[in-house]
A = this chain, B = another copy of it.
Amino acid sequence: MPTRDDTAATPASAPAGLTASILGDDLSFLLARANALSLSAGNAALAVHDLKARSYAVLAAACATPPPSQRELADFLRLDPSQVVSLVDQLEQRGLVERRADPQDRRANAVVATAAGEALARDAQQTARRAEEAVHGDLDPDERRTLMALLRRLAFAS
């Protein structure tokens, strides 16, 4: 639940009373707080490319094969379909993605990255990865793998 966009960061430590409180072993809270830190670090870093975590996610997904439809993007990124419209609009105006009509289903638009979009996605991925490391830099590679595997099960449960 927390989110705050402070680039010049909050002291991440907390009063002992609070870390030991009910919330201290609340998985949802830890998830929320970890996400908030990661999100603000990511947004700050991606600003160099004129992207945010959201738009980067759409761009990165548009590099997949086969390219996703807007509906698939909405489901995968957990965005409202109307939000996807506006994110794709912005990326399309910058020439980073294209809407390509699906010949199978003419209601659907595949969102596919242009060459410029793919290049930017690669750069932004590097940027994002470096920002991530600042957040979880003290996890060793094994721990990182473990964490990702467990998170993946939460993120794509059922």
Contact = CB atoms under 8 A, between A and B. Distances in A.
Interface of A: 1-4, 10-15, 17-23, 25-39, 42, 52-54, 57, 60-61, 63-68, 72, 75-80, 121, 125, 128, 131-132, 135-139, 143-144, 146-148, 150-158
Given A21-B63, A63-B22, A150-B147, A28 B42 contact: yes
A56 B76 CA distance: 28
A77 B54 CA distance: 22
Contacts of A57: 1-2, 23, 29, 32
Contacts of A37: 78, 154-155, 157
Contacts of A72: 14-15, 18
A90 to B, nearest CB: 15
Nearest to A124: B22
Interface SS of A by simple majority:
helix
Nearest to A62: B21
A41 to B, nearest CB: 8
Given A2-B78, A4-B80, A157-B37, A151 B13 contact: no
A14 B151 CA distance: 15
B157 A17 contact: no
A155 to B, nearest CB: 4
A30 B34 CA distance: 11
B34 A38 contact: no
A65 to B, nearest CB: 6
